[in-house]
A and B are shown apart, each in its own frame.
Chain A
Amino acid sequence: MLSGQIALVTGASRGIGAAVALELGKQGATVIGTATTASGAEQISVALQQGGVKGEGVALDVNNAAQVEEVLKAIGEKHGTVSILVNNAGITRDTLLMRMSEDDWDAVMSTNLKSVFRLSQAVLRPMMKARQGRIISISSVVGHMGNAGQANYAAAKAGMSGFTKSLAREVGSRGITVNCVAPGFIDTDMTRALSEDQRNGLVQLVPVGRFGDVQDIAAAVAFLASPAAGYITGETLHVNGGMYMA
């Protein structure tokens, strides 16, 4: 379904990004997954290979503009131009606003939101030329509901939605769609950082009665990346077991 496509997935070393990378690969795309370290990149290469997927892992810090440029150039030369971008890299620095440092704010804004601006801009030109493309950003239910202790994270994730709608308007006529997938609580390192009590409390909020699996998100991303989703743009697809219904 995605054969001939070249997908770039940021933060593909673990969690949601790793599952997305494999899924896009299984659908036929060549996948470039990024991690912040060389050893993480190597692991991605191995995981892709074991999954029978074409592609490789590369080291990329999304906060490093020069590196973004370099990596995209290298991908272009080695694999061709990126036709599917998945902005997945993200971090949390949770604390109540009363105690939030400017550094907590900046780090989350930069890694989660500015990276989306940076990467999207970097892939846009070839997509415009090709008259096709998919930009999919992993936001969060928290960007829509708010969450105590996550003012920085929620602001960044809500910002993705505004960015996505605007860019969707700009490039719709060029066959490029721009969407978000907003996960609820998914079982990954990010949520394993919560205490057992917190996790049990959270499950009570989910009608489906469980934390989501990374595969639940990967399937949604693969759908939006597919030709079947060509008429969906500027949209946020919520994948949260019913904990929030937009």
Chain B
Amino acid sequence: MSDIEQRVKKIVTEQLGANEADVKNTSSFVDDLGADSLDTVELVMALEEEFDCEIPDEEAEKITTVQQAIDYVNAHVK
């Protein structure tokens, strides 16, 4: 598992209070991990903090799964 993948999964696990085992790359925050709209906002804010970046609202809306979050970070954070 890449470093970024690990960090993203850790944040998702913490923010959503999910079981580590349930947080798979394909997991959807809302459908699989039970996030509500506020959770997803908090999650995005936590990602911004962890990776020291700003995720614009239009982009944030498209991040709905663990893999999408990993892809976003890979593409935008140096």
Contact = CB atoms under 8 A, between A and B. Distances in A.
Contacts of B42: 128
Contacts of A106: none
A170 interface: yes
A16 to B, nearest CB: 32
B45 interface: yes
Interface string B38-59: 1000100100000000000000
Contacts of A79: none
- Interface range on chain B: under 10, 10 to 19, 20 to 34, or 35 or more? under 10
Interface residues of A, number: 6
A125 B45 contact: yes
Nearest to A125: B45
A170 B39 CA distance: 11
B45 A171 contact: no
B45 A173 contact: no
A73 interface: no
B18 to A, nearest CB: 17
Interface in B12-66: 36, 38, 42, 45
A173 B36 CA distance: 10
Contacts of A171: 38
Contacts of A170: 38
Nearest to B49: A125
Interface in A102-133: 125, 128
A23 to B, nearest CB: 31
A171 B41 CA distance: 12
A176 to B, nearest CB: 11
Contacts of B38: 128, 170-171, 173-174
Contacts of B36: 173
A173 B34 CA distance: 14
8 contacts: A125-B45, A128-B38, A128-B42, A170-B38, A171-B38, A173-B36, A173-B38, A174-B38
Interface of A: 125, 128, 170-171, 173-174
Given A128-B42, A173-B36, 6 more contacts: A125-B45, A128-B38, A170-B38, A171-B38, A173-B38, A174-B38
**Interface pairs A-B: 5 shortest CB-CB:** A128-B42, A170-B38, A125-B45, A173-B38, A174-B38
